[in-house]
A = this chain, B = another copy of it.
Amino acid sequence: MNVGIIGLGLMGGSFAKALKRYSIAEKVYGYARSEKSKEEIIELNLVDEIVDIKTLKDNCDLIVLAIPVDNIISMLPEFLDISSNTTIMDLGSTKEFIVNNVPSKIRKNFIAAHPMTGTEKSGPKAAIDDLYEGRTVVLCNLEDNENIHVNRAFKVFQEIGMRIVVMDANEHDIHACYMSHLPHAISYSLANTVMGHEDPKSIIALAAGGFKDMSRIAKSSPEMWTDIFKQNRKNLLKSIDLFEEHMKKVRQMVEEEDYSDLKQWMKKANTLHEIL
């Protein structure tokens, strides 16, 4: 099997590394737009060859779109003439808007995937060996795909060590919102709050594990995350409202010195320990 990866940043670059590690592809082709990215991809030896879109379409059994979610939609018309045997797959963090906007001609070829893994880093240098190892990938609306493509996706994800979960795109977007998009909105808010109040010297001297962990994903790419917030807007607004109810509650309990309820509320949060 030959695989073509469009976009070789954190997700695409790590996918290329996983394919090599497990000897899954005969050849891994890469496509990148900027010269800087191309240079980094070559330097890091992420793919066998950097090619143009046409070569990628002509030579690959599987084409992976590892680019920001808005770009996925705008790029899909380029693939209207692919073979019915070629699988296209995206790795974006939102799924409903994407599956609703795949051109019908290639809908059967298009596998909507979201690997639930990542770091705050981006670009080819962010690619790491074991990003996918032991993590979960969500595949959405597989009833719209032909078996050959579903089987290929299952095979590849299983071979790179992922756990596969299948669900509806709408359901995915709700879960991804609470488990990932809302935490990003909160982390950006916390980072901006602390940097607006504290001087850099104090931040460096006093940051411990708690703040470091809570602010890590505030370093994530604004381009990528603006698109994700845009595509999952309705769920995000609702999740912010639910989170805000808890922020109001903790504020109120502290203000009214209602420490017995505060302790109970913290104990409820503690039960996360039983799950995670």
Contacts and interface: CB of A to CB of B under 8 A. Distances in A.
A257 B226 CA distance: 10
Nearest to A223: B263
Interface string A201-212: 011111111111
A190 B182 contact: yes
A215 interface: yes
A203 B266 contact: no
A230 B208 contact: no
Given A185-B250, A189-B247, A254-B237, A271 B195 contact: yes
Contacts of A269: 187-189, 191-192, 195, 218-219
B233 A254 contact: yes
B179 A206 contact: yes
State the oligomeric state as a number of copies.
2
A43 interface: no
Q: Which of A182, A213, A257 has the most C-beta atoms of chain B within 10 angstroms of its own C-beta?
A: A213
A33 interface: no
Contact of A257 (B178, B233, B241): B233
A52 to B, nearest CB: 30
Contacts of A217: 209-210, 213-214
A83 interface: no
A119 interface: yes
A193 B243 contact: yes
Contacts of A200: 275
Interface string A251-271: 100110101001111111111
B251 A240 contact: yes
24 contacts: A178-B194, A178-B198, A179-B206, A182-B190, A182-B194, A186-B190, A187-B269, A188-B250, A188-B269, A189-B243, A189-B269, A192-B268, A195-B271, A200-B275, A214-B214, A219-B270, A219-B272, A219-B273, A222-B262, A222-B263, A222-B264, A225-B266, A229-B254, A236-B254
Interface of A: 116-119, 135-136, 138, 163, 165, 175-176, 178-180, 182-198, 200, 202-220, 222-223, 225-226, 229-230, 233, 236-237, 239-247, 249-251, 254-255, 257, 259, 262-273, 275-276
Given A117-B208, A188-B250, A218-B266, 10 more contacts: A116-B206, A180-B208, A189-B249, A189-B250, A193-B245, A200-B275, A210-B216, A220-B270, A226-B259, A230-B259
